[in-house]
Structure 1
Amino acid sequence: MPTIAQGINKKIAFKRQTGVGVAASVTGAQYLRRKQSVFTLKRDTYNTADEIASHQQLISERQGVQMVEGKLSGFLAPGAYSDWLAALLRRDFSAGASATAVSITVAGSGPYTLTRAAGSYLADGFKIGDVIRLSVGSLNVANLNKNFLITGLTATVATGIPLNGVALVAEGPVTGCTVSVQGKKTFTPTSGQTNVYYTVEEWANDVSISELSKDVKVGQVALKLPGSGNAEVDFTLVGLDQTTGATQYFTTPTVETSANVLSTATGALILNGVQNGIVTNIDLTINGQETPMDGVVGTNLRPDIFRKKFMVSGSFSAMLADSTIDAMFRNEAETTLVVALTSDRTGNADFVSLVLPRLKIKSSTTDDGEKGIVGTYEFTALYNFAGGAGANSEQTTMSIQDTLA
C-alpha cells in the first residue's frame, strides 16, 4: 500500500520576500499554526468549442495564465498572525507611546481615571483604545503592571477599565511612574504604506511533497468573535506562482507561536465609549482588495498583484435592551468600537485589541421567539479624519495592538 499524506503531518511555513518575483531565501522562515490551509494553483483554460470539424468533436483544450488561491483558517492568538495582519493593514507593527517619570493619581470605581500632574497624554501619542500599564514608582500592587484599556482621553486624564475586571485601588499622586502602551501597534497609515509579498510552503513530509507558492499577498481576513467561544480567523491569500519539489524548501523554520488562543470570555468590548455587556457576537471583514493583474503575451505568469483601497466592514448582534444602537442607525450617527481580548484572566495577560475609531451602522434588524430578542447591526468602518498627532485617536480606519507582535 502506498503512503498516504496526512494533514496532521503537513507543515506550513512562510517568509517575506524582498519584492515581487524574488522567492524568499531558504533560512529564517516561520511555521504557522492553523486549523486548516490550502494553497491551490489555478489556470485559465481555453478550448475550441466554437470550432467546427467534420468529425463533430472537440479538438483542443489549452491552459493559460495562472494564479494561486490560498485559504487558511485558525484561532486568533497573540503573535500568531501578527505579520500577516500587519501586511494586510499596510504598516509593520511598532512600539506604542510611553511616558516616564510621571506623577499619577488613580481614582474612580470603574471606569477609573489615571490623572497625570504634568505633561500630556495626547502630546506623548497615547490614543483611545490603547491598552497601557503603569510601572515603576511606589504603586499599589493592585495598580502595578495591569492591562488598562483607555476608553476616554484628554491631555491629563486617561479614563478606562482594567481588562481582567479586578478593581484598581485609589491612590496618589504617586511620583516617578512609567505609563506605556504594551506590545506593538499597527494601523493603516496615510502614507508610506507597505506592500508585502510572501513565499509560503506546504510541506507534506510523510510523502516528501513540497508545494511552494510565491509572490503571495494577504488579501483579506474574516474575524469571528462569538459571544462564547474562541476568536477565529479566516485568511484569503492570492499569489502568482507555485512549484513542487521532493525536498523541503525552507530549512529549519522557527517553530509555531505558543500563546493561548483568545477567548471572548476574557477582555472587554467598548461601543460608543461605554463598556458593553449585551453584544453576543462580532463578525469583522478586513479587506485589502488584492487582485492579480491580467495576463500578458508570452508567459503564463501574471506580472503583479494590484490593490484597491483598504476596507473594513462587519456586523454585530446585541441583546435588545434599549433603542440606543438602533437610534445610531436611524440618525446616521457615527460611533467607535474597541475590542480587547486577553489570553488569560491575569492582570498582565497577553492580548490583541482592535480599534475602529469611526464607524457607521448601516442596518438594524431584530429577531423574535421565546428567548431574549437580539438585534443585528451591520456597519462600515471609515477613515478617521479627526485622528493623528496630538489627537486622542489614530488617523486611520483601523488599528491593532498585539503584545507578542
Structure 2
Amino acid sequence: MSSGIAQGVRKQLRYAKQAGLGAIAATTGGSILRRTQSTLDLNKTSYQATEIRSDYQVADFRLGTRSVAGDISGELSPGTYADLIAGVLRSPFAAGVTTGAQTTIAASAVAPHFTRTAGSFLADGFKVGDVIRASGFTHASNNNTNFMLVDVEDEAMTVVQLNGPVGIATEVSGGNVTLAVAGKKAIIPSSGFADTYFTFEHWFSDIAQSEVFTDCKVSQLDLSLPATGMSTIKAAVMGLNMQTGQAAYFTAPAPETTSGILAAVNGVVLSGGKPAGIVTGATLTVNGTLTTGAVVGSNVMPDVFDGTIKVSGQITAYFQDAKLRDQFVNETESSLSFAMTTSNAPNADFLAFTLPRIKVSSAKKDDGEKGLSLTIPFTALKNIAGGAGTASDATTVSFQDSLA
C-alpha cells in the first residue's frame, strides 16, 4: 500500500507553447519534458503590519502579488530543449541553408575540403561554426558525416570532422552533390523578436494533483560542458500565475524525447576558427534579463517584460602556449564554436553553438603538482560585421540542433 506521499519518479514535467500572453496552452498538444529537477512554484509577496501598538504585537500579515519562478534542470540532449533555447533567444529554430544539388562541387583530402566552380557558399548562407553534411558524392565516407566549418569563402570551405580526423576522400566535381547545414539553427535576431510564452505542468500522478504554471518565459539558460560526465542545461523560468486541479491538465502529452545525452568528450571546440587547445571544461550563460512589476487592483502581474540579452561564459584549458592568454593581455577579440555529439558515429546527433565575437576578461592560472590550467571568462558581443554574404552571423550567439 502506498504511503500517500508524492514521489519524484512519479512526477511528470509537461509543457506547451502558448499562442500569446494570457492564452493558456490547449489541453492537447503538450509534451513531457525530460528533467533531472524542476523547481517551478508559485510565489507570493508578503506584507507585515508595522504599526506601533500598545500591546507590543503584530496584528496583521497579508499575502500579495502572485508570480511563478523556478529552474528546469536536465542533461543536455538534441531536440529536447530546443523550445526553451529558442524562447530565451526570442527566435525560433529554422531549417539550415543548403547548396541544393550541384554538379560543380568537388571534395579534397586537404584544405580547402569542399570547392565549387559556380555559385557561392557565402551567398548561400553558410557560416563558420555551422555543422554540415554532404550527400551525392561517390565516396561513401564523404556523405552523411558531421563536418564543422572553420573557414568559408565564396568557392571554398574548410572543415573539421566532429568525431575523429577529417576523412574526406578526394573527388572531382560532376555528381549531383548537396551540402547542407544539418538540422535547424536559431540566433538572437536583430529584429522581429518572438515573444514566447509557455504553460508548464507538474503532474503528481501518485496523489492526483496538478499544478499548472501559466504565462511563463525562459529568463536564462546555463549550459555546463565538463570534460568528464554529461553536459547539462538549466533553464530559469519566470511566470505570472498557477492553477491547481486533481486531474492532469495536458491530456495524452507526447512522450519524452529519446535522443542520446551529449558529452563534451565527443565533439569539437574552436577558438578563432582553430582548435582551442586542450579544453577541460566550459560554461555558457544566456540571460534575457526579464523583469515583472506589480500593479494596483490585481494580485497578478501584467506581464513578464523582456530585457537586453546578455551572453557570457568561461572555458578552462591546459596552459600550453600564449594564444588564449594573449587574447586577454592584448584585448584581442575572437570567436568560439562548440559542438557536442551523442556518440562517435560520423553522423551522430549533435548540439552546437557559436559565439562569433567574444572578449576575454581575465586569464588566471592555477598552480600545483599537476598540469596547469587557464581559466578564461568571456563576454559575447553582437557581431556587427556579420550577416548576409559574410562568413558569420550578425548575432551574439547561434545554436544548431540536429533534431530541432
Say yes or no: does 1:238 pair with 2:244: no
Partner in structure 2 of residue 129 of structure 1: 129
Cα distance change of structure 1 residues 168 and 207 upon mapping to structure 2, 3 Å threshold = same
* Alpha-carbon distance in structure 1 between the residues aligned to 2:101 and 2:32: 41
| Letter matched to residue 370 of structure 1 | E
Q: Note if 1:54 corresponds to 2:79.
A: no
Partners of 2:112 and 2:280 lie apart in 1 by 25
Does 2:148 align with 1:145?
A: no
2:381 maps to 1:371: no
Unmatched runs of 5 consecutive residues or more in structure 1: none
TM-score, with normalisation over the residues of structure 1? 0.97
The aligned counterpart of 2:215 is 215
1:281 is matched with 281
1:31 aligns with 2:29: no
Q: How far, CA to CA, are the matches of 1:173 and 1:362 in structure 2?
A: 46
Mapping for residues 250-265 of structure 1, pairs under 5 Å: 250-265=250-265
Quick one: distance in 1 between partners of 2:53 and 2:291?
A: 38
Greater mean deviation of Cα atoms: 179-188 or 161-170: 161-170
In structure 2, the partner of 1:337 is: 336
Counterparts of 1:256 and 1:97 in 2: how far apart (Å)?
28
Counterpart AA for 2:368: G
- Compute the displacement of 1:175 (Å): 2.8
Partners of 1:96 and 1:181 within 8 A in 2: yes
Measure how far apart 1:141 and its partner are: 1.1
Q: Does 2:339 match 1:316?
A: no
Question: Aligned partner of 1:134: which letter?
Answer: A
Structure 1 position 290, deviation (Å): 1.3
Matches of 1:180 and 1:319, distance apart in 2: 34
Distance in 1 (alpha carbons) for counterparts of 2:273 and 2:99: 24
Shift of 1:21: 1.3
Structure 2 gaps, min length 5: none
Q: Please say if 1:14 is aligned against 2:35.
A: no
Please identify which structure carries the higher strand content: 1
| TM-score (norm. length: structure 2) | 0.97
Q: Give the partner amino acid of 1:4.
A: I
Deviations 1:79-126 (A, max 9, x none): 0100110111111011111112322222244x6521112110011111
More divergent stretch after superposition (383-392 vs 272-281): 272-281
Matches within 5 A, 1:164-179: 164-166=163-165, 167-179=167-179
Q: Deviations over 1:272-320 (max 9, x none)?
A: 110234111001111111111x211111100111111111001110100
Counterpart CA distance in 1 for 2:274 and 2:58 is 66
- Cα distance in 1 between the residues matched to 2:207 and 2:84: 28
SS of the residue corresponding to residue 134 of structure 1 reads strand
The equivalent of 2:187 in structure 1 is 187
Q: For residue 382 of structure 1, what is the aligned residue in structure 2?
A: 381
- Tell me the secondary structure at the aligned position of residue 259 of structure 1: coil
Query: 1:162 deviation in Å?
Result: 1.4
Letter in 2 for 1:195: D
State the Cα distance separating 1:32 from its structure 2 match.
0.2
SS at match of 1:180: strand
Quote the residue 2:267 is aligned against.
267
Q: Look up the match of 1:42.
A: 43
Partners of 1:112 and 1:161 within 8 A in 2 = no
Question: Which secondary structure state, in structure 2, belongs to the residue aligned with residue 165 of structure 1?
Answer: coil
Matches of 2:211 and 2:100 in 1, distance apart?
50
Matched position secondary structure for 2:172: strand
**Contact 1:135–1:179 under 8 Å retained in 2:** yes
Q: Secondary structure at the match of 1:172?
A: coil
Say if 1:344 and 1:2 are closer, same or farther in 2 by CA, change over 3 A.
closer
- Closer, same or farther in 2 for the Cα pair 1:233/1:173, shift >3 Å? same
What letter matches 2:307 in structure 1? K
User: Which residue in 1 is equivalent to 2:158?
Assistant: 159
**Structure 2 Cα separation of the partners of residues 133 and 280 of structure 1:** 28
Contact 2:277 2:320 (C-alpha < 8 Å) held by counterparts: no
Find the aligned partners of 1:375 and 1:43 in 2 and give their Cα distance.
Answer: 43
CA distance in structure 2 between the aligned counterparts of 1:39 and 1:117, rounded to whole angstroms: 55
1:269–1:339: 8 Å Cα contact kept in structure 2?
yes
Q: How many Å separate the matches in 1 of 2:46 and 2:76?
A: 37
Please report how far the alpha carbon of residue 172 of structure 1 lies from its aligned counterpart in structure 2 after TM superposition. Answer: 1.6
Q: Which amino acid aligns with 1:39?
A: L
Aligned equivalents of 1:161 and 1:326: distance in 2?
Answer: 24
Task: Say which SS state the counterpart of residue 15 (structure 2) adopts.
Answer: strand
User: Matches of residues 293-312 of structure 1 in structure 2 within 5 Å?
Assistant: 294-312=293-311
Aligned-pair RMSD on alpha carbons?
1.2
Conservation of the 8 A alpha-carbon contact between 1:133 and 1:147: yes
